[in-house]
C-alpha cells in the first residue's frame, strides 16, 4: 500500500483535534510527537496499515469521578478526579497524580500521552498513564489533605493494582499525599500491596533516591549532552525554574557536578543568588515550611527577590525549566539565547512552548525534551516496584548508580536515533522516534486490541 506520509500524519492530527475539542495541551503534545513520525512511517508501512499511531493517540481508558470532602470548617467541597490509562503495551499504566487547580482532562491527557514515550525510553516495563484533581493543596491543613486523599482513593482504588495501574506523585502530590492514599487503599482492599503506588515513605516500602530522582536524572542527562561536546558542568552558570522537588534536587546534583545554580523561582517571582543557591535554606523554606521563595531572600544576604519577574532574564549558560507546562515562551527563549545560553534541559513536562523550541533550534542551543531528560523520576519508580516485588531494599549508592546509567542510556538512545533518522543532534526527534518505536512494536505484537 502506498502511503502519502505527510498527508497521513496531518489527517491523524486533524482527527485528534476533532475528537478532543478544547484540549489545547493535549493537542500540543500530540503535535510535537507527530511532527517527528513521518520518518518512521516512511520505513514502517505496517504502522500506517494497522493505524498504530491512531491507536496510541486514543487512551485505552479514561476515568473521571466526583471527589466530595469536608474542609476544617465543616463546609462541603467538591472536586473532580481523573485517571487516564493511556497505554499498557509495555507494562501496567504508570504515571503520577497531579493536584493543582489547573488540572482538567486535557492537561491529564497531555501528561499521560507524554508519559507513554517517556516510560518507554527508560527501558523499564511500564505503560503510560496520568491522573490528578483540580484540588488545590495550597493553604490546606494536613487533616484536609488527608480527607481529600481518602475520598479520592475511595473511588480510584477499584482501577488500581500492581499489575494494572501504579500511580505516584507529581505537582502537589508528595510523600504526605502518597501516604494517605496508600493508607486508604490498604484499608479498602485489605491488602498490603506495596507495588500499587510509588514514591512511598522510606520506612514503609519506599525506595532510596526516588525523591531526588527527577532532579538528579535531569542533571545526569545534561552531563551526557555536555560529554558529547567535550564539556562538563565545571564552572557553568545555571538557572533552574521552580523550587519544588525537581528544582531542589536538580540544584543539589548540578552543584555536586561543579556547576553553580544562581536562580530559582516559584509562582510569586524568583531569587538570584550570585553565590549559588544555598540548598539547606531552600529546603528549609520550601520542603519543611511549605513557604514562599521570597522567604529565601529574607534569610540569605547575597540573595535578591524579584517579584513577578521572569527567571529567564537571569543570564546563564544552562537553563533547566522545572516548574510547569509552557512556562518558557519564545520571548524568554530569545532573551536566554541572546544572553549566551547554550543548553536547555526540560526538568518539567513540556515547559517550553513550540515556538520557544524553534528559537532554540535556530540559535543552535542544545535542547533536551522532558520525556527524555526528566525520565529519571519514573525510572526510579520502576526501581521501587522492582524492590517491592523482590521484597528487597537497595542502598543509596546502588540506586543512584542505576539512575545515572539509565539516564546515560536514554541520552545515547536519543542521540543515536536522531542520527539514524537523518537529524543529528535533534534530541526531540530522537526521543520521539525511539520512544514511539518501542511502544509501536509492542502494540503491533499484541494484535488489534
Q: How far apart are CA 35 and CA 89, in angstroms?
A: 22
Task: Give the number of other Cβ atoms within 10 Å of residue 393's Cβ.
Answer: 13
**How far is the CA of 366 from the CAs of 225, 424, 435, in angstroms?**
8, 11, 20
Q: How far is the CB of 124 from ligand GLU (least distance, A)?
A: 11
76's enclosing H/E stretch is strand 76-87
Q: How far is the CB of 214 from ligand GLU (least distance, A)?
A: 7
Q: How far is the CB of 141 from ligand GLU (least distance, A)?
A: 24
Residue nearest to ligand GLU (CB): 96
Q: By C-beta, is 211 or 349 nearer to ligand GLU?
A: 349
Q: Which residues pair with 130 in a beta bridge?
A: 84
Q: By C-beta, is 56 or 316 nearer to ligand GLU?
A: 56
Residues 79-108 binding ligand GLU (CB under 6 A) are 94-96
Q: How far is the CB of 138 from ligand GLU (least distance, A)?
A: 18
Q: By C-beta, is 146 or 385 nearer to ligand GLU?
A: 385
Task: Region of 80 please: left (phi>0), alpha (psi -120 to 50) or beta.
Answer: beta
Which segment (299-307, 324-332, 376-384, 387-395) binds ligand GLU by CB under 6 A? 376-384
Q: How far apart are CA 107 and CA 104, in angstroms?
A: 5
Backbone angles phi, psi at 205, to 5 degrees: 105, -5
By CB under 6 A, tell whether 430 contacts ligand GLU: no
Q: By C-beta, is 52 or 387 nearer to ligand GLU?
A: 387
The footprint of ligand GLU on this chain (CB under 6 A) covers a number of residues equal to 11
Q: How far apart are CA 389 and CA 212, in angstroms?
A: 22
Q: Which three cell numbers stand for residue 370?
A: 522532558
Q: How far is the CB of 210 from ligand GLU (least distance, A)?
A: 8
Q: How far apart are CA 243 and CA 327, in angstroms?
A: 14
- Residues with a catalytic annotation lie at 130
Q: In sequence order, what DSSP letters do the residues of 333-374 get, joined into one string? A: HHHHHHTT--EEE--SSS-B-HHHHHHHHHTT-EEE-HHHHT
Residues 380-399 binding ligand GLU (CB under 6 A) are 381
Residue 308's SS3 state is: coil
Q: How far is the CB of 204 from ligand GLU (least distance, A)?
A: 17
Residues 216-255 binding ligand GLU (CB under 6 A) are none
Interface pattern 166-185 for ligand GLU (x via CB under 6 A) = --x-x---------------
Q: How far is the CB of 374 from ligand GLU (least distance, A)?
A: 6
Q: Which residues pair with 165 in a beta bridge?
A: 93, 161
Q: How far is the CB of 349 from ligand GLU (least distance, A)?
A: 5
Q: How many CA atoms lie within 13 A of 203 on its CB side?
A: 2
Residues 149-168 binding ligand GLU (CB under 6 A) are 168
Identify the residue whose cell numbers are 470548617: 73
By CB under 6 A, tell whether 378 contacts ligand GLU: yes
Residue 5, classified by CB atoms within 10 Å of its CB into exposed (0-12), middle (13-18) or buried (19+), is middle
**Nearby residues of 412 by Cβ (< 8 Å), 6 or more positions away:** 224
Q: How far apart are CA 349 and CA 326, in angstroms?
A: 9
Q: How far apart are CA 13 and CA 60, in angstroms?
A: 18
Q: By C-beta, is 376 or 430 nearer to ligand GLU?
A: 376
**Nearby residues of 420 by Cβ (< 8 Å), 6 or more positions away:** none
Interface pattern 106-135 for ligand GLU (x via CB under 6 A) = ------------x-----------------
Interface pattern 333-372 for ligand GLU (x via CB under 6 A) = ----------------x-----------------------
Q: Which residues pair with 97 in a beta bridge?
A: 131
Q: By C-beta, is 198 or 310 nearer to ligand GLU?
A: 198
Residues 198-217 binding ligand GLU (CB under 6 A) are 198
The correct pick among 377, 431, 437, 438 for binding ligand GLU (CB under 6 A) is 377
Nearest one of 358, 366, 347, 376 to 243, comparing CA atoms: 347
Q: By C-beta, is 210 or 413 nearer to ligand GLU?
A: 210
Q: By C-beta, is 116 or 225 nearer to ligand GLU?
A: 116
Residues near ligand GLU (CB under 6 A): 94-96, 118, 168, 170, 198, 349, 377-378, 381
Amino acid at each position: 500500500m502506498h502511503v502519502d506520509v505527510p498527508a497521513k500524519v496531518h489527517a491523524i492530527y486533524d482527527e485528534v483535534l476533532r475528537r478532543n475539542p478544547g484540549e489545547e495541551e493535549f493537542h500540543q503534545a500530540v503535535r510535537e510527537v507527530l511532527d517527528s513520525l513521518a520518518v518512521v512511517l516512511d520505513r514502517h508501512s505496517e504502522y500506517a496499515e494497522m493505524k498504530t499511531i491512531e491507536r496510541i493517540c486514543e487512551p485505552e481508558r479514561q476515568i473521571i469521578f466526583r471527589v466530595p470532602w469536608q474542609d476544617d470548617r465543616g463546609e462541603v467541597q467538591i472536586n473532580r478526579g481523573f485517571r487516564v490509562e493511556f497505554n499498557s503495551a509495555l507494562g501496567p499504566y504508570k504515571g503520577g497524580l497531579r493536584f493543582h487547580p489547573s488540572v482538567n482532562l486535557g492537561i491529564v491527557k497531555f501528561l499521560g500521552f507524554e508519559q507513554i514515550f517517556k516510560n518507554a525510553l527508560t527501558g523499564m516495563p511500564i505503560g503510560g498513564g496520568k491522573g490528578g484533581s483540580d484540588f488545590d493543596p495550597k493553604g490546606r491543613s494536613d487533616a484536609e489533605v488527608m480527607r481529600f486523599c481518602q475520598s479520592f482513593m475511595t473511588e480510584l482504588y477499584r482501577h488500581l493494582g500492581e499489575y494494572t495501574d501504579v500511580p505516584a506523585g507529581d505537582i502537589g502530590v508528595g510523600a504526605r499525599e502518597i501516604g494517605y492514599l496508600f493508607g486508604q487503599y490498604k484499608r479498602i482492599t485489605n491488602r498490603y500491596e506495596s507495588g500499587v503506588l510509588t514514591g512511598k515513605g522510606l520506612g514503609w516500602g519506599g525506595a532510596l533516591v526516588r525523591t531526588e530522582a527527577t532532579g538528579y536524572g535531569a542533571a545526569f542527562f545534561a552531563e551526557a549532552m555536555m560529554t558529547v561536546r567535550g564539556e562538563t558542568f565545571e564552572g557553568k552558570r545555571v538557572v533552574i525554574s521552580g523550587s519544588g522537588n525537581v528544582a531542589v534536587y536538580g540544584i543539589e546534583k548540578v552543584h555536586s557536578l561543579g556547576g553553580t545554580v544562581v536562580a530559582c523561582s516559584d509562582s510569586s517571582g524568583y531569587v538570584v543568588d550570585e553565590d549559588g543557591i544555598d540548598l539547606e535554606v531552600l529546603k528549609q523554606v520550601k520542603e519543611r515550611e511549605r513557604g514562599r521563595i521570597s522567604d529565601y531572600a529574607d534569610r540569605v544576604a547575597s540573595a535578591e527577590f524579584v517579584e513577578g519577574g521572569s527567571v529567564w532574564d537571569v543570564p546563564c549558560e544552562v537553563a533547566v525549566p522545572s516548574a510547569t507546562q509552557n512556562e518558557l515562551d519564545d520571548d524568554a527563549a530569545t532573551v536566554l539565547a541572546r544572553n549566551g545560553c547554550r543548553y536547555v534541559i526540560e526538568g518539567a513536562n513540556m515547559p517550553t512552548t513550540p515556538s520557544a523550541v524553534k528559537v532554540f533550534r535556530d540559535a543552535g542551543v542544545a535542547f533536551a525534551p522532558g520525556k527524555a531528560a526528566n525520565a529519571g523520576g519514573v525510572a526510579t519508580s520502576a526501581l521501587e516496584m522492582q524492590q517491592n516485588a523482590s521484597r528487597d531494599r537497595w542502598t543509596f549508592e546502588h540506586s543512584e548508580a542505576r539512575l545515572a546509567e539509565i539516564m546515560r542510556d536514554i541520552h545515547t538512545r536519543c542521540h543515536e536515533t536522531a542520527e539514524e533518522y537523518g537529524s543529528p543532534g535533534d534530541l526531540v526527534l530522537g526521543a520521539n522516534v525511539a520512544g514511539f518505536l518501542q511502544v509501536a512494536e509492542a502494540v503491533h505484537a499484541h494484535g488489534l486490541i
